[in-house]
Structure 1
Amino acid sequence: MTPAKQLRIAIEKCELPHPLFLEHFKPLRQRIEDALDGGASRIERVMGPSRVGKSMLINALSRAFPERKVDGRRNVPVLVVPVPTPVSPLQLPLSVLDALGLPVQRSLTTVAMRGRMLEQLKAANTRVVIFEEASHLVEPGARIPPRGAGDWFKTLADSHNRTVFMFGVPRLERLFECNEQLRTRASARRLLLPYDSRIPENMKAFHICVATYANLFRESGYPIDLPASALTYQCYLLSAGLIGVLSRFMQELASQMASESPRILTFADCANAAARVEAAGSPHFPAFANPEATLTEVSPAALHQAFVHVMNDTDLAVPIIREQAGGVQ
């Protein structure tokens, strides 16, 4: 295997157990463990901007509780269900059955489909159902009223004392606003947010994430020729603190080395990779736009504008921080 291929694989497989990830992973894992121990039904909602790391969180939770055989019978303790778009009353139970990998007679009525879904979930001993992209339920094309969708999830949780997780972008909150019974049954919402440049601990954690990727490049023979702080600031301008965008940038940078022997990566290499990634930060402060940026510290205002831009894009209020953050050490 060539060094370039080793690098690409290392970057793609790299999962960062960073602080904001662990802040949600640990309590959600505990919720699952409680459910498997026969604990009370729970309804949890996790919301955040696109590319903030929701899928990584879902994948990690699912891997922690894999499907297995118990006394020769299939046991699926945690089931991940992608919510289709546009979604309808028939497609909701159908998506659950599809996630279980079961054949379905699509001519079944909505009531019959829901009954089959509940039977199969019970047969698989599924105690936790995780719905990915649940915010599709409140998109304009959805063919199920939000209140009705809320009743459907409440019924699902009530059956077999089941726990339900719902992941999506912040518009998912509308589902709970339209159904007071669902809202009062659910736990308080969880917000998975980007790293905020104004908070020193946040920037330190983001810097560690960038350094982790940079170390993989160096160990593979492709060191990045930028000061550590400069690389962190430029990555922040590009990603606005979204780890998913940072990961995508690092993957693109590694992919560009596919036909290259080990060598030092320059600012130009980083700029080329950044140009092939959908930036999340402010267009007024583009990342890797000026080679001289490696010699000067990026202003706190420019970093903050990246954060503001991604928060505004997802209709989230920018938190008020009384004390301004310092730079990366």
Structure 2
Amino acid sequence: MDKGEFYNALQAFDNEYVNFSAFGKIIAEMESILDLSRNTGIVKNLLVTGESGCGKTSLARAFQMRYPKARIAEQTITPVLLVEVPSLGTVGAVAQAILRALGDPYPEKGRVADQTARIDILIRSCKTEMLILDEAQHIYDRGQRKTQYATADWLKTLVNAIEIPVVLFGIPRLENLLEVNVQLRRRFAAPMELSIGNPGDIGFLNTNFDVINALAPALPIPLSLKKITPDDLTRRIYFATDGRVGYLKRLLSIALQAAWENDDTEINLDTLEDAFTHIWREGVGSLNPFSRDFVYRRLDRAGEPFAGDRTA
């Protein structure tokens, strides 16, 4: 395989998304919400949470791709609108991001009330049937409680005005946004979590194996099972990625490049051990999941790559 072919294969691998159990359930729930709105006019909203790297953005994009934009005469139809909430999650910043995604030529123009009115008009003009806000925790992260309440109150106003399902994606602390404004909380169903699961769950190992196995066909250089069982490899990969699809793809992408540069015909434990140090420089010896000295525990202590993420 020459360099061009390899980079094309690497890009194709990076674009892969994995339809594991929780992923499929959330997609199905979003389809159900959209179908309900289309056929009855009843609007249900959804909150989806998950740790960084668990695949939230991939899921949002995968759903949007099911309903692609269409150009009719001089009009653009956007059935599902996906907007990434900017890190400056103020009312104005969020309103401008939505307007920009809708094709408004002057998203910064006007007061917030004017921008909100334009969002409503453009959503109806574009025949948008669902609004997805990714990285929505930035709304909560911005400022003090007074500012958070103002932004949450504006979001409630927007949800009421556009009369279509709204889906919020974010890390677990996004749930705090709904605690800031009781009226907003009433407009969203119980949160759904995007997660492969916990090590103590029944079937957890099988789920992780299924995720790895689903990505295997997209690997231009295969994973080696020499001198290791599938169960042991799955456990080691879990600890190296904390069960997050984003980290898994990053680990395998680094390993793929190393294997290709070394003219290897497979990715083995040595390749993965070295690749992990590119994710965490201090991950060596007993703290490297692919080392023979590994201690088989989550790397979530102070200074380790997954420290504090579960309670963030």
Per the normalisation by structure 1, the TM-score is 0.81
Q: How far, CA to CA, are the matches of 2:299 and 2:225 in structure 1?
A: 25
- Quick check: 36-45 or 265-274, which moved more? 36-45
| Offset at residue 58 of structure 1 (A) | 0.4
Q: Secondary structure at the match of 1:129?
A: strand
Task: Give the aligned CA root-mean-square deviation in angstroms.
Answer: 3.0
Q: How far, CA to CA, are the matches of 2:218 and 2:290 in structure 1?
A: 24
Quickly say closer, same or farther: Cα 1:221–1:289, change in 2 above 3 A. closer
Q: Secondary structure at the match of 1:59?
A: helix
Identity of aligned residues (%): 21
Q: Secondary structure at the match of 1:66?
A: coil
Q: How far, CA to CA, are the matches of 1:92 and 1:142 in structure 2?
A: 17
Quickly say closer, same or farther: Cα 1:42–1:144, change in 2 above 3 A. farther
Is residue 261 of structure 2 the alignment partner of residue 265 of structure 1? no
| Offset at residue 163 of structure 1 (A) | 1.2
Q: How far, CA to CA, are the matches of 2:71 and 2:40 in structure 1?
A: 19
Quickly say closer, same or farther: Cα 1:221–1:183, change in 2 above 3 A. closer
The equivalences for 1:52-91 within 5 A come to 52-70=54-72, 73-91=75-93
Contact 2:67/2:80, CA 8 A, preserved across alignment: yes
Q: How far, CA to CA, are the matches of 1:235 and 1:164 in structure 2?
A: 35
Q: Secondary structure at the match of 1:276?
A: helix
Q: Secondary structure at the match of 2:113?
A: helix
Is residue 187 of structure 2 the alignment partner of residue 180 of structure 1? no
Q: How far, CA to CA, are the matches of 1:79 and 1:143 in structure 2?
A: 28
Q: 1:199 aligns with which of 201, 224, 236?
A: 201
Quickly say closer, same or farther: Cα 1:216–1:181, change in 2 above 3 A. closer
Matching residue's letter, 1:237: F
Q: How far, CA to CA, are the matches of 2:26 and 2:307 in structure 1?
A: 19
Contact 1:235/1:287, CA 8 A, preserved across alignment: no
Q: How far, CA to CA, are the matches of 1:42 and 1:117 in structure 2?
A: 19
Quickly say closer, same or farther: Cα 1:264–1:161, change in 2 above 3 A. closer
Quickly say closer, same or farther: Cα 1:171–1:235, change in 2 above 3 A. same
| Offset at residue 222 of structure 1 (A) | 4.1
Q: Give the match for residue 129 of structure 1.
A: 131
The equivalences for 1:101-180 within 5 A come to 101-104=103-106, 106-141=108-143, 145-180=147-182
| Offset at residue 9 of structure 1 (A) | 3.7
Q: Give the match for residue 32 of structure 1.
A: 34
Q: How far, CA to CA, are the matches of 1:138 and 1:283 in structure 2?
A: 37
Quickly say closer, same or farther: Cα 1:207–1:304, change in 2 above 3 A. farther
Quickly say closer, same or farther: Cα 1:285–1:148, change in 2 above 3 A. farther
**Structure 2 residues without counterparts, runs of 5 or longer:** none
| Offset at residue 102 of structure 1 (A) | 2.4
The equivalences for 1:284-303 within 5 A come to 286-291=287-292, 302=297
Q: Give the match for residue 42 of structure 1.
A: 44
Q: Secondary structure at the match of 2:18?
A: coil
Q: Secondary structure at the match of 1:195?
A: coil
**CA deviations over 1:217-268 (Å, ceiling 9, x no partner):** 4xx4544254222221110111121122112211221122343435233322
Q: Give the match for residue 321 of structure 1.
A: none
Quickly say closer, same or farther: Cα 1:119–1:246, change in 2 above 3 A. same
Contact 1:4/1:262, CA 8 A, preserved across alignment: no
Matching residue's letter, 2:63: L
| Offset at residue 173 of structure 1 (A) | 1.3
**Structure 1 residues without counterparts, runs of 5 or longer:** 317-329
Matching residue's letter, 1:207: F
**CA deviations over 1:92-136 (Å, ceiling 9, x no partner):** 211101112321163422222222222111111112110011100
| Offset at residue 71 of structure 1 (A) | 6.6
Contact 1:41/1:162, CA 8 A, preserved across alignment: yes
Q: How far, CA to CA, are the matches of 1:185 and 1:221 in structure 2?
A: 47
Q: 2:191 aligns with which of 180, 186, 189?
A: 189
Q: Secondary structure at the match of 2:65?
A: helix
Q: How far, CA to CA, are the matches of 1:6 and 1:224 in structure 2?
A: 22
Per the normalisation by structure 2, the TM-score is 0.85
Q: Give the match for residue 314 of structure 1.
A: 310
- Quick check: 204-213 or 178-187, which moved more? 204-213
Aligned residues: 304
The equivalences for 1:240-255 within 5 A come to 240-255=242-257
Q: Give the match for residue 232 of structure 2.
A: 230
